[in-house]
């Protein structure tokens, strides 16, 4: 047994030369494990997805009255059906994104972050892969249930292009949202309470991100403000792309998401580098 | 080359101190007061490749802190350490491929998933290819007798079963050094024994060096050839386990019973009388000071013997005695 086993793994002195595939495989495995973990409680998963029914029902009543009162078929270029499909996508993203900031700040505070650091992976990428693994199922569930409900209310959804474009943009949304969460989570190294930051971020998403109302309905100045902030590109960008899947819009959404990812992601990376050094000194 | 060498390692934690109540909180906010806790105070030791080394000490002695420094998750305040030639806190990731660690109080297995899922995850994290990972899992499953448990969600396993899975998981990448911080915590006698046997077996089979901390002298007694005892962040004893026993197991306690009444002033030279009753007595002596022979003949001469029991202190008692000596 000894001779057989001895050669199975790293023979002594071998210099590891991890291929890009092996490194990607790591994060894929983390993603997959988190996915399996969410599947461990399917009822729970379903329960959370049912929330979207309530949201869509409220929105439907709200906007039917509004459209009825104005008498117009479309407001700012959006029909009632467009608005509902927009809100469905916005809610699906909002309800499925996982709040990693809480996980991270808990781990920083109780020191368990240290136990993740003695494995050969990057802490930030680990959380991103795990967060994504936790989100996709919830997102899928929200989409299926949301689509069924909104279809009954206002008729068929946008075409295939809308789904594909929105899907791609949502992936970047999660990434951007994750950067904000990581920023909030890592701030636990400096301040003891991170809840205030979390609260502010949530409110920015709700009000200026387009979760409750398509930004097109805002007065012009507020629209300008919102569209120049990152929050719109987490929710509004993909949701609006869903109901208006033009190439021009796709390009604009990607460009904005790319810019904000570079900015916020860069800050996270910088802070993480410093925080990790500090963590190792202060210990768990 | 030594697997681990540690020279004059120190770790001082700074903890914020805060007086009770609101006023204390405000003052701490304004002008935080720090208190130094010297967790490790100049420890030096070496561990050979493939050695089983025990590290014991009472709560707060600095065992976990030392292990955390050796895995690279904690920076020492001063001193040197090398694990397999790496300076842990400088080359943490490279070292991670060569060592395994289990913190008994910090489970690593995903709680809601079967252990085999975590095994696959770790395999990927350590960049094993699928073929060798499969072979490795089935090998470890057999060695740790966990074949039947691998598919069960971890939350449904008993503590002993879970700990066997934890240790197996830490060996997936075939580390050359295993750092075990209280792996036997909370286990019953049988589960402890089983875990010890498997650790011993993996040590023989693969030559993995093991640094083991424990509160249980039995772990050290059955597993380790050498032991280091720490207290208050310092090494207070280090030697072979056998030498420890030879040196400290010289104190004998003797219980005698007689068929007839004893003289109330019954005494033996060089023997401490713990209790003298009408038909029996309990006494203690150290064989290095008082030879056995005269004691036994003195006992026989005192009357018609009904029963004699001679007992040695347990390793547990020995260690408590060493702690007590270092407290003074
Ligand atoms: N992160 C920390 N911040 C401040 N003090 C700490 C920290 N970690 C440990 N200590 C202190 O350092 C000392 C040694 O702790 P350590 O955990 O190493 O002890 P131990 O020997 O593992 O004890 P036990 O047997 O209870 O696990 C203790 O006094 C503890 O309070
Ligand atoms: Mg400890």
Partnered with residue A49 across adjacent β-strands are none
Buried/exposed A165-182: b ≥16 CB within 10 Å, e otherwise: bbebbbebbbbbbbbbbb
Which residue's structure tokens are 């540690």? B6
Chain B residues with CB under 8 Å of A29 CB are: 120-121, 123-125
Tokens of A81: 């059906």
pLDDT above 80 (res A2): no
Buried/exposed B279-302: b ≥16 CB within 10 Å, e otherwise: eebebebeeeebeeeebeeebeeb
Length of chain B: 328
Q: A225: domain range?
A: 41-277
pLDDT above 80 (res A14): no
Establish whether this prediction's ipTM goes over 0.85.
no
pLDDT bracket for residue A279 (50, 70, 90): low
Q: How far is B296 from chain A (nearest CA, A)?
A: 52
For the stretch B234-258, pLDDT in tens is 998 898 988 887 777 788 889 999 9
pLDDT bracket for residue A284 (50, 70, 90): very low
pLDDT above 50 (res B52): yes
d(CA B196, CA A51): 50
Q: Is residue A33 situated within a structural domain?
A: no
Chain B's closest residue to A283, CA to CA, is B74
Angle at A224 between CA A220 and CA A230, to 5 degrees: 145
pLDDT above 70 (res A12): no
pLDDT above 60 (res A177): yes
B57 interface with A at CB cutoff 8 Å:
no
Atom 16, ligand 1: residue with shortest CA distance? B62
Which of A15, A30, A119, A191 to substitute to test the interface with B, most B CBs within 10 Å? A119
Domains in chain B, start-ordered, CATH in brackets?
2-11+41-246 (3.40.50.300), 250-312 (3.30.70)
Q: How far is A124 from chain B (nearest CA, A)?
A: 14
Which residue's structure tokens are 């007798």? B145
For the stretch B59-80, pLDDT in tens is 889 999 999 999 988 889 999 9
B278 interface with A at CB cutoff 8 Å:
no
Strands annotated E in chain B: 4-17, 33-47, 52-56, 78-83, 99-103, 177-181, 209-214, 226-231, 234-240, 251-258, 272-276, 280-286, 305-311
For the stretch A191-207, pLDDT in tens is 878 889 999 999 999 99
| Predicted local confidence at residue B32, as pLDDT | 72
Closest ligand, as measured to the CA of B77: 1
Phi-psi region of B265 (alpha: psi -120 to 50; beta: other; left: phi over 0): alpha
Spell out the long-range contacts of A154-157 with Cβ–Cβ below 8 A and sequence spacing 24 or more.
A154/A60, A154/A80, A154/A81, A154/A84, A154/A85, A155/A81, A157/A85
Q: Is residue A21 situated within a structural domain?
A: no
Which protein residues touch ligand 1 with a CB less than 6 Å away? Answer: A 283-284; B 13, 15, 37, 39, 57, 59-65
The Å distance, Cα B4 to ligand 1 centre, comes to 21
Q: Does B249 or B294 have the greater pLDDT score?
A: B294
Q: Does B29 or B198 have the greater pLDDT score?
A: B198
Length of chain A: 284
Q: Is residue A234 situated within a structural domain?
A: yes
Q: Cβ-count burial of B239 within 10 angstroms (0-12 exposed, 13-18 middle, 19+ buried)?
A: middle
Count structural domains, chain A: 1
**Taking CB atoms and an 8 Å limit, are B132 and A114 in contact across chains?**
no
Q: Is residue A191 situated within a structural domain?
A: yes
Tokens of A10: 């790293």
Q: φ and ψ at A145, to 5 degrees?
A: -70, -45
Q: Is residue A29 situated within a structural domain?
A: no
pLDDT above 80 (res B126): yes
pLDDT above 60 (res A264): yes
Closest ligand, as measured to the CA of B55: 1
**Residues having C-beta closer than 5 Å to ion ligand 2:** B 64
Q: Which residue in the set B68, B122, B136 is minimally distant from A9, CB to CB?
A: B136
Partnered with residue B231 across adjacent β-strands are B234
**Taking CB atoms and an 8 Å limit, are B124 and A120 in contact across chains?**
no
Give the nearest ligand 1 atom to B62 CA. 18
Average pLDDT over residues A90-119: 84
**Taking CB atoms and an 8 Å limit, are B206 and A6 in contact across chains?**
yes
Cβ contacts of B231 within 8 Å, gap of 6 or more: B57, B58, B61, B322, B323, B326, B327
Give, as one character, the DSSP assignment of residue B309: E
Q: Cβ-count burial of A161 within 10 angstroms (0-12 exposed, 13-18 middle, 19+ buried)?
A: middle
| Predicted local confidence at residue A5, as pLDDT | 39
> By three-state DSSP, how is residue A274 classified?
helix
Q: How far is B153 from chain A (nearest CA, A)?
A: 9
Q: Order of strands, edge to edge, in the sheet holding B272-276?
A: B272-276, B280-286, B251-258, B305-311
Whether residue B78 contacts residue B8, with contact meaning beta carbons closer than 8 Å, is answered with yes
Helices B115-125 and B130-143: angle between axes, nearest 10 degrees: 130
Give, as one character, the DSSP assignment of residue A6: H
Interface of B with A in 234-273 (CB under 8 A): none
Whether residue A235 contacts residue A211, with contact meaning beta carbons closer than 8 Å, is answered with yes
| Predicted local confidence at residue A15, as pLDDT | 44
d(CA A284, CA B39): 13
Whether residue B257 contacts residue B276, with contact meaning beta carbons closer than 8 Å, is answered with no
B159 interface with A at CB cutoff 8 Å:
no
Average pLDDT over residues B35-62: 92
d(CA B187, CA A188): 35
Average pLDDT over residues B275-295: 89
Which residue's structure tokens are 């117009």? A72
Q: Is residue A10 situated within a structural domain?
A: no
**C-alpha separations of A99 from A139, A201, B20, B158, B248 in Å:** 14, 11, 33, 32, 57
pLDDT bracket for residue B95 (50, 70, 90): very high
Q: Is residue A4 situated within a structural domain?
A: no
| Predicted local confidence at residue A49, as pLDDT | 85
Which residue's structure tokens are 């943490």? B92
Tokens of B172: 């997936």
Average pLDDT over residues A99-124: 82
3-state secondary structure A23-41: HHHHHHHHHHHHHHHHHCC
**Taking CB atoms and an 8 Å limit, are B75 and A283 in contact across chains?**
yes
| Predicted local confidence at residue B154, as pLDDT | 95
The Å distance, Cα B210 to ligand 1 centre, comes to 21
The alpha carbon of A93 is separated from its chain's Cα centroid by a whole number of angstroms, namely 7
- Tell me the percentage of chain B whose pLDDT exceeds 90: 54
Q: φ and ψ at B266, to 5 degrees?
A: -60, 125
Residues of A with CB under 8 A from a CB of B: 1-2, 5-6, 8-10, 12, 16, 18, 22-23, 25-26, 28-30, 32-33, 36-37, 40-41, 112, 114-115, 117-121, 280-281, 283-284
Pairing of strands B251-258, B280-286: antiparallel
- Average pLDDT taken over every residue of chain B: 89
| Predicted local confidence at residue B324, as pLDDT | 77
Closest CA to A108 of A180, A194, A175, A197: A194
Average pLDDT over residues B39-64: 93
Chain B residues with CB under 8 Å of A119 CB are: 96, 122, 125
The alpha carbon of A276 is separated from its chain's Cα centroid by a whole number of angstroms, namely 24
**Taking CB atoms and an 8 Å limit, are B96 and A283 in contact across chains?**
no
Confidence (pTM): 0.83
User: How many contiguous H segments (helices) and E segments (strands) does chain B have?
Assistant: 11, 13
Chain B's closest residue to A1, CA to CA, is B205
For the stretch A17-32, pLDDT in tens is 567 888 889 999 999 9
Chain A residues with CB under 8 Å of B71 CB are: 118
Chain B residues with CB under 8 Å of A281 CB are: 75
pLDDT above 80 (res B328): no
pLDDT bracket for residue A281 (50, 70, 90): low
Which of B11, B65, B127 to substitute to test the interface with A, most A CBs within 10 Å? B127
Q: Which residue in the set B103, B125, B132 is minimally distant from A9, CB to CB?
A: B132
**C-alpha separations of A134 from A45, A139, A200 in Å:** 10, 9, 23
Tokens of A263: 């900015």
d(CA A226, CA B128): 47
Q: Is residue A12 situated within a structural domain?
A: no
| Predicted local confidence at residue A47, as pLDDT | 83
Whether residue A84 contacts residue A59, with contact meaning beta carbons closer than 8 Å, is answered with yes
């Amino acid at each position: 047994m000894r001779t057989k086993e001895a050669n199975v793994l790293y023979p002594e002195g071998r210099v590891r030369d991890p291929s890009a595939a092996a490194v990607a495989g790591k994060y894929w495995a983390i993603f997959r494990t988190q996915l399996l973990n969410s599947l461990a409680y399917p009822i729970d998963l379903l329960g959370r997805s049912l929330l979207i029914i309530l949201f869509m029902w409220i929105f439907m009543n709200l906007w039917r009255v509004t459209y009825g009162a104005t008498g117009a078929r479309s407001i700012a270029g959006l029909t009632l059906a467009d608005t509902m499909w927009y809100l469905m996508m916005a809610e699906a993203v909002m309800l499925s994104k996982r709040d990693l900031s809480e996980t991270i700040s808990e781990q920083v505070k109780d020191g368990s972050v240290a136990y993740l650091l003695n494995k050969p992976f990057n802490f930030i990428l680990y959380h991103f892969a795990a967060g994504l693994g936790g989100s996709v199922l919830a997102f899928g569930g929200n989409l299926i249930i949301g689509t069924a409900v909104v279809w009954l209310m206002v008729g068929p959804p946008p075409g295939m292009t809308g789904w594909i474009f929105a899907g791609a943009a949502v992936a970047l949304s999660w990434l951007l949202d994750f950067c904000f969460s990581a920023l909030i989570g890592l701030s636990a190294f400096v301040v003891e309470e991170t809840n205030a930051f979390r609260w502010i971020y949530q409110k920015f998403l709700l009000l200026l991100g387009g979760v409750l109302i398509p930004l097109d309905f805002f007065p012009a100045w507020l629209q300008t403000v919102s569209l120049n902030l990152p929050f719109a590109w987490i929710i509004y960008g993909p949701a609006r792309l869903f109901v208006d899947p033009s190439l021009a819009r796709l390009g604009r959404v990607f460009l904005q998401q790319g810019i904000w990812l570079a900015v916020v992601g860069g800050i996270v990376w910088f802070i993480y580098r410093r925080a990790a050094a500090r963590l190792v000194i202060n210990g768990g | 080359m030594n697997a681990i060498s540690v020279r004059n390692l120190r770790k001082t934690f700074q903890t914020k101190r805060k007086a009770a109540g609101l006023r204390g909180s405000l003052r701490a906010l304004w002008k935080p007061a720090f208190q130094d806790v010297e967790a490790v105070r100049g420890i030096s030791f070496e561990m050979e490749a493939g050695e089983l080394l025990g590290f014991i000490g009472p709560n707060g002695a600095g065992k976990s802190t030392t292990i955390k420094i050796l895995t690279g998750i904690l920076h020492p305040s001063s001193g040197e350490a090398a694990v397999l030639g790496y300076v842990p806190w400088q080359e943490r990731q490279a070292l991670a491929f060569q060592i395994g660690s289990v913190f008994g109080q910090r489970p690593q297995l995903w709680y809601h998933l079967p252990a085999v899922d975590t095994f696959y995850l770790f395999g990927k994290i350590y960049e094993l290819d699928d073929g060798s990972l499969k072979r490795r899992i089935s090998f470890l499953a057999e060695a740790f007798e966990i074949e039947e448990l691998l598919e069960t969600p971890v939350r449904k396993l008993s503590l002993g079963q879970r700990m066997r899975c934890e240790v197996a998981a830490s060996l997936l990448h075939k580390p050359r050094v295993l750092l075990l911080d209280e792996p036997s915590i909370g286990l019953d006698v049988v589960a402890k024994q089983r875990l010890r046997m498997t650790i011993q077996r993996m040590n023989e089979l693969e030559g993995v060096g093991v640094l083991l901390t424990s509160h249980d002298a039995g772990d050290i007694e059955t597993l380790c050839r050498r032991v280091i005892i720490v207290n208050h962040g310092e090494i207070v004893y280090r030697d072979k386990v056998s030498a420890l026993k030879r040196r400290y197991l010289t104190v004998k306690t003797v219980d005698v019973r007689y068929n007839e009444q004893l003289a109330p002033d019954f005494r033996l030279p060089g023997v401490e009388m713990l209790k003298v009753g009408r038909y029996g007595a309990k006494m203690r002596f150290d064989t290095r000071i008082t030879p056995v022979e005269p004691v036994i003949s003195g006992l026989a001469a005192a009357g018609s013997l009904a029963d004699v029991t001679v007992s040695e202190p347990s390793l547990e008692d020995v260690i408590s005695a060493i702690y007590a000596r270092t407290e003074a």
